[in-house]
Amino acid sequence: MTTPRSIDDLKALISDRNPGEPEFHQAVGEVLDTLDPVLVRHPEHLDLAIVRRIAEPERQIIFRVPWIDDSGNVQVNRGFRVEFNSALGPYKGGLRFHPSVNLGIIKFLGFEQIFKNALTGMPIGGGKGGSDFDPRGKSQREVMAFCQSFMTELFRHIGEHTDVPAGDIGVGRREIGYLFGQYKRLTNRFEAGVLTGKGMSWGGSLVRTEATGYGTVYFAEEMLRTQGESMDGKTVVVSGSGNVALYAIEKAHQLGARVVTASDSSGAVYDPDGIDLELLKQLKEVERGRISEYAERKGGAAEFRSGRNAVWEVPADVALPCATQNELDEDAAITLVKHGVRVVAEGANMPCTSAAINVLQRAEGTLFGPGKAANAGGVATSALEMQQNASRDSWSFEYTEERLRTIMVDIHARCRETASEYDRPDDYVLGANIAGFSKVVEAMLAQGVI
């Protein structure tokens, strides 16, 4: 096989080797499109196949997950763990339980995780996993049965020095508890550092639940500071109503902003008075209801709006997409820009399409923060949980949140400094990609061709 001599050659090769995985192609292409300046400075990276090695997972694990439902029927799901890159430390990344999960989705998430984890400055590599199992509508016993079956295979591939999974969509503290219990049963070890996102009474960390949402808002505020502004007084639109969205709303409110939207797969709620967070948490965290119920209960000016782009049609200073991949398309980006959006920071993983990112980056007066930088707070706090587990310690909420804030400020500074080094100071995509890439490459070169 001939050695690729350009970014286009690399993209073609990776696409050919990974057919039928559009999300993975999108994630790889987004990174590769920013690496031309690096390869001009370091053409030897092509000769050493550095980019090809980074884009090829070190290990891909696919397995059957059989379990018995409450009716006595045998169900069969598919489990995944992609251990992408361990140059900086043990593989680290969440588990996603959702019907949309397939190998391409997990590879896109794992690839992004490499650079996100590198940006945190913590000693963690990149990985991701999950299953096409849907916990929605399942009983507690069914969720436990699935998690125990899933871990019965996964346990042989993970460990606190090997691979440390966490939660993601569909995997919260309940699922992490069942997974950890089965791991402990199978290994006869209370290895607290093998999973993060645990309950506080058995090795968890304060701020872990809030970390991704809080971190996204901290990053957005740092972006505003480059323009001499802050979150105080800003109108903010947030998509989603899961863990990331809820705590992005909470932190934005604490910093003086007014968040006016939230959403789920059925549509969005617009509340010009500001989202009532306690009502939203009751609906989504306790009752697991639909977002349309918010407008019914809140009354007043609150209204439910259907449609894919309902959130992005509301004029705002700051937009935080916090739901899922490719939720904010080109039309939505054009609408946001037309309404004068100042900052767009990704709380979810790759929520903006490539076309949307192009619109946002070209718009005068608009700054765009990619997820691998803006939503790194979750994995950063997971790494802080690993530190506490290793030292058999537990930190206060205030101390842990201050560590999180410092990490997010440092990530923002690293992105800006790297982008400025390449004469593009406002290009957070280029800054994040090159800063993360350079850190991983340094470790890979030191460790040889492995």
Query: Are the beta carbons of 434 and 42 closer than 8 angstroms?
Result: no
387 among annotated binding-site residues = no
Catalytic residue among 128, 198, 372, 439: 128
Domains of the chain: residue spans and CATH: 7-54 (no CATH), 59-190 (3.40.50.10860), 211-374 (3.40.50.720)
198 among annotated binding-site residues = no
Q: What is the pLDDT of residue 2?
A: 61
Share of the chain above pLDDT 90, in %: 92
pTM (2 decimals)?
Answer: 0.92
Q: What is the pLDDT of residue 6?
A: 81
Q: What is the pLDDT of residue 47?
A: 80
Adjacent-strand bridge partners of 95: 129
- Nearest-5° angle of CA 155, CA 160, CA 161? 110
The helix/strand/coil state of 376 is coil
Q: What is the pLDDT of residue 291?
A: 94
106, amino acid identity: I
* Half-sphere exposure in the Cβ direction for 35 (13 Å, CA): 24
113 among annotated binding-site residues = yes
Is the pLDDT at 319 greater than 70? The verdict is yes
184 among annotated binding-site residues = no
Q: How far apart are CA 155 and CA 133, in angstroms?
A: 18
Is the pLDDT at 329 greater than 90? The verdict is yes
* Confidence band of 1 (pLDDT split at 50, 70, 90): low
* Confidence band of 316 (pLDDT split at 50, 70, 90): very high
pLDDT, tens digit, 9 for 90 and up, residues 134-190: 999 999 999 999 999 999 999 999 999 999 999 999 999 999 999 999 999 999 999
Identify the CA nearest to 274 among candidates 290, 247, 256: 256
pLDDT, tens digit, 9 for 90 and up, residues 239-250: 999 999 999 999
CB proximity list for 43: less than 8 A, separation 6 or greater: none
Q: How far apart are CA 357 and CA 208, in angstroms?
A: 29
Tokens of 276: 């009532």
pLDDT, tens digit, 9 for 90 and up, residues 65-83: 999 999 999 999 999 999 9
pLDDT, tens digit, 9 for 90 and up, residues 260-298: 999 999 999 999 999 999 999 999 989 989 999 999 999
DSSP 94: E
77 among annotated binding-site residues = no
Q: How far apart are CA 378 and CA 207, in angstroms?
A: 9
pLDDT, tens digit, 9 for 90 and up, residues 94-139: 999 999 999 999 999 999 999 999 999 999 999 999 999 999 999 9
Burial class (CB in 10 A: 0-12, 13-18, 19+), 426: middle
Q: What is the pLDDT of residue 371?
A: 96
Phi and psi torsions of 101, nearest 5°: -70, 130
Q: How far apart are CA 106 and CA 351, in angstroms?
A: 15
Whether 128 is a known active-site residue: answer yes
Q: What is the pLDDT of residue 295?
A: 94
Q: What is the pLDDT of residue 3?
A: 65
188 among annotated binding-site residues = no
Is the pLDDT at 17 greater than 90? The verdict is yes
What dihedral angle (degrees, nearest 10) is formed by the CA atoms of 42, 91, 150, 392? Answer: -170
Query: Are the beta carbons of 429 and 350 closer than 8 angstroms?
Result: no
92 among annotated binding-site residues = yes
